[in-house]
Structure 1
Amino acid sequence: MSPRLSPPRFRTEYNENDQVFSISGTLRPQGVQELASSLAQLQDAARRSHGVLYIDMRRLVLMNNTAFHALTGVMVEACRARPELRLVVVISTIVGWAARRFRHLSQIEPAIAVETYDSDFYPGQAFLEEGGFIPILRTQTKMTWRHEREILPRHGMRPGLAVADICCGIGDFAVLVHKEFQPSRIVALDHSRSSLAYARKVADDFGIQGIEYTYGDAAQMLVSDNQFDFVTCRHSLQIFNRPELILKELHRICRPGGRIYVTNEKNSHCLGEPRAESIQWTYNEVAKLFAHFEMDVELGPKSRRYLIEAGLEDIRIESFMVTNLDGDPQDFVNVVSAWEGVYAGDMAVRRGDSPEFIERFRQGFQDHIYAALHPKGYAGWPIWVASGRKPA
């Protein structure tokens, strides 16, 4: 009786329309014979492709030397057999070993290029990953949670669910959900190492257990399909230049019948009184500034369309206004002050704005602070909440 072979822990697929050969999972064969069908598939893809063949390794978790040498051998052989063919190996910074293994491949064969997928995917995120931005994130979560703890159950949140918080930032929201709703499991994933380091430190300091903090690319998560009952992505679709790719991944990891929950802003609707005109001008300019860096902080009301186009059903959408009357007005002031520091500081300078523009730009933030602290004043920051169910 022949021994039973364990099922393969990797998957290969060729998309002829896009000329993409994809490899995902864990590629650790004992011998080359275990890869025979995949190598033959790659050879066939190289024969059938014209111009450029993409080798997509963004979801390849591990690869041993046997697999590496076998695959790269087929790639080099294909290029030398067909001098007109170019191969582009696509990797991600999330999978650190990939860059080390493949960096020298183009030196061996000039027709093979290695591209880092997510180096250009987050064009503006660097502004929001700096350690100095952490206090603003903590204060923002503190202010929005007063509203969201009441809103979440209307969108399907309840105790005992398997929850994923994608683009979790510093992890505050995951902690609050963990305490309030007691999920059976909660995974918090982000692309920022500094934010995750902070999140883990807070969890350790406060003795919080049960949250799985994970480093990962929200557009190419190393997470299996159909795992979570409730998937959240807060204030994040608006900072990516291709939010539909994030939603595609949220859809993939959500179980059929589960819900995807997103929050986004419309910064031009930030308001204040007195000094409303100055405040309005500045936040209109904030939207333009973010657009310059390929981010859309006007996305809030568009959330319903994005969720429908992602294939979700039973769409629920609502909005709420965070104001200076929600607890201590100084919290609102701290948020606006942090916005001024980042938006009128590094971002405006890097765009090349004039000193005169930056001075007027800053004045609007200062006037928003004035409105928040004025004894008769009102200052607001609007948030849109939307969720949809993945069809069963």
Structure 2
Amino acid sequence: MSRQTSSFSAEFNEINQEIVLSGRMRPRSVQEIASVINMVRRSLAESGSTAYVNVKRLTHMNMTAFRCLAEVLKSACEQKPQRMIVVVTSSVIAWSAPLFQTLASTQPNLSVEIYDSAFYPGQTFVEDESFIPILRTQTKMTWRHEREILPRHGLRDGLTIADICCGIGDFATLIKRQFNPTRLVALDHSKKSLEYARRVAAEFGLNSIEYTYGDASQMLLADNQFDFVTCRHSLQIFDRPDVLLRELYRICKPGGRVYITNEKNSHCLGEPHSETIRWTYEQVAKLFSHFDMDVEMGPKSRRLLNDAGFDAIKVESFMVTNLDGDPQDFADVIEAWETVYAGQMAVRRGDTPDFIRRFRQGFKDHVLAALHPKGYAGWPIWAASGRKPY
């Protein structure tokens, strides 16, 4: 069951018991949306013990539309008080959650679920401003490799590019300076990171980068828009990477490419003290898995891209090491990992002091390996890309 106008659409998925509203719902009169409201009313009447009203892609809504929808929701709540109705919103649409939460406060069997608040399990661990310099250092270390790798995956001058999950925007600025895209959109779900990104871009005079706040799993970007789409070190911290890949596929033009990078943390290595280092990074992988993240994703890239519908898939790996520039840079990154992984994540998981002490020792030995005059420290990364079929 569905209804569509030039500006918005509504449909009911009987399997999921979900009504999906999307687009711009700005009627001038009640009659203009009468068919949609009737469809919502009938769908709620047919639903079982829990019904969902999905407004994640409803970008605009005037009060005429909201009053009509609110009346239908309240009536449905009163008719079946034992049935729950869940309104699913997104924090990206700033007006949405507060408006529906106000409505939900008047109905005990109506609730609001902010979809993306649970979708990014790693968000809180990397939003601390003290982590920003480390993110910049990581990009500096990987860029030495990626600036040579990216052209092999189809990046060249003059393309339209989207950098999804752009973080603090440092990769976008490097892309802008070296590959001179005709358009560059950089999207992230962290307002703090985007504020920092805009400041840095302004300092370098790169004002044409379009930094955009958004939910990568439900982007408010048009279909088939970009020649080249990047998403680095991000699929591994989503609990549903397949959902994000579908969005990357959607916004990519037919014939364009999507480029991703991911890690395999258990393969981080170092000499001397290789055994303690190996044990710690094996525990890192298990720790991330506890929080529904997968930092072992790197070698899975080919399968993920294939399952998402891409063809002409290219995969390569590289090792960031203490020999890539200043060894102190690598040591600083490892110390930041220790702070977040052992100081925050392991504590939140409830690990014992003895475990955390041993866990920390592997990071300290990795730092020693990075700084030792005869030492070696490595961090493996997989770079992969796929073409969207014509």
Name the TM tier (shorter chain): over 0.9
Secondary structure in structure 2 of the residue aligned to 1:297 = coil
Matching residue of 2:98: 100
Matching residue of 2:126: 128
Post-superposition CA distance 1:133-183 (Å, at most 9, x none): 111110000010111111111111111211111110000000111111111
Q: Equivalents in 2 of 1:226, 1:111: separation in Å?
A: 40
Q: Which of 249, 252, 259 is residue 251 of structure 1 equivalent to?
A: 249
Q: How does 1:66-215 map to 2 (within 5 A)?
A: 66-83=64-81, 85-215=83-213
- Matched-pair contact (CA < 8 Å) for 2:101–2:111: no
Post-superposition CA distance 1:173-200 (Å, at most 9, x none): 0011111111111111111111111101
Matched AA of 2:277: I
Q: Which of 329, 332, 342 is residue 344 of structure 1 equivalent to?
A: 342
| Post-superposition offset of 1:246 | 0.9
Query: When the two structures are superposed, what TM-score results if normalisation uses the length of structure 1?
Result: 0.95
Post-superposition CA distance 1:191-216 (Å, at most 9, x none): 11111111011112222121111111
Matched AA of 1:79: C
Matching residue of 1:14: 12
Matched AA of 2:17: Q
Secondary structure in structure 2 of the residue aligned to 1:96 = coil
Which structure 1 residue ranges, 5 or more long, are not aligned? Answer: 1-6
Matched AA of 2:353: P
| Post-superposition offset of 1:127 | 0.6
Matched AA of 1:348: A
| Post-superposition offset of 1:334 | 1.2
| Post-superposition offset of 1:299 | 0.7
Q: Equivalents in 2 of 1:34, 1:160: separation in Å?
A: 44
Matched AA of 1:188: A
Q: Equivalents in 1 of 2:375, 2:81: separation in Å?
A: 70
Matching residue of 2:29: 31
Answer yes or no: is 1:324 the counterpart of 2:317: no
Answer yes or no: is 1:227 the counterpart of 2:238: no
Answer yes or no: is 1:312 the counterpart of 2:324: no
Secondary structure in structure 2 of the residue aligned to 1:103 = helix
Q: Equivalents in 1 of 2:175, 2:101: separation in Å?
A: 41
Matched AA of 1:97: W
Matched AA of 1:190: D
Bigger drift between 377-386 and 340-349 goes to 340-349
Post-superposition CA distance 1:11-42 (Å, at most 9, x none): 22222221211111222222222212221221
Query: When the two structures are superposed, what TM-score results if normalisation uses the length of structure 2?
Result: 0.95
Q: How does 1:297-308 map to 2 (within 5 A)?
A: 297-308=295-306
Matching residue of 2:352: 354
Secondary structure in structure 2 of the residue aligned to 1:160 = coil
Q: Equivalents in 2 of 1:335, 1:102: separation in Å?
A: 42
- Matched-pair contact (CA < 8 Å) for 2:18–2:52: yes
**Identity rate, percent:** 63
Matched AA of 1:120: A
Q: Equivalents in 2 of 1:9, 1:86: separation in Å?
A: 29
Bigger drift between 305-314 and 75-84 goes to 75-84
Q: Equivalents in 2 of 1:136, 1:175: separation in Å?
A: 17
Bigger drift between 138-147 and 330-339 goes to 330-339
Q: Equivalents in 2 of 1:153, 1:309: separation in Å?
A: 24
Residue correspondences, number: 386
Post-superposition CA distance 1:271-305 (Å, at most 9, x none): 01111111111111111111111111111111111
Which structure 2 residue ranges, 5 or more long, are not aligned? Answer: none
| Post-superposition offset of 1:84 | 5.2
Q: Equivalents in 2 of 1:257, 1:13: separation in Å?
A: 31
Matched AA of 1:292: H
Q: Equivalents in 2 of 1:358, 1:115: separation in Å?
A: 35
Secondary structure in structure 1 of the residue aligned to 2:181 = coil
Q: Equivalents in 1 of 2:46, 2:350: separation in Å?
A: 47
Bigger drift between 351-360 and 188-197 goes to 351-360
Matched AA of 1:134: I
Q: Residues 207 and 357 of structure 1: is their aligned pair in 2 closer, same or farther, counting only changes over 3 Å?
A: same
Matched AA of 1:146: R
Matching residue of 1:3: none
Matching residue of 1:369: 367
Secondary structure in structure 2 of the residue aligned to 1:108 = coil
Matched AA of 2:56: R
Q: Equivalents in 1 of 2:165, 2:255: separation in Å?
A: 22
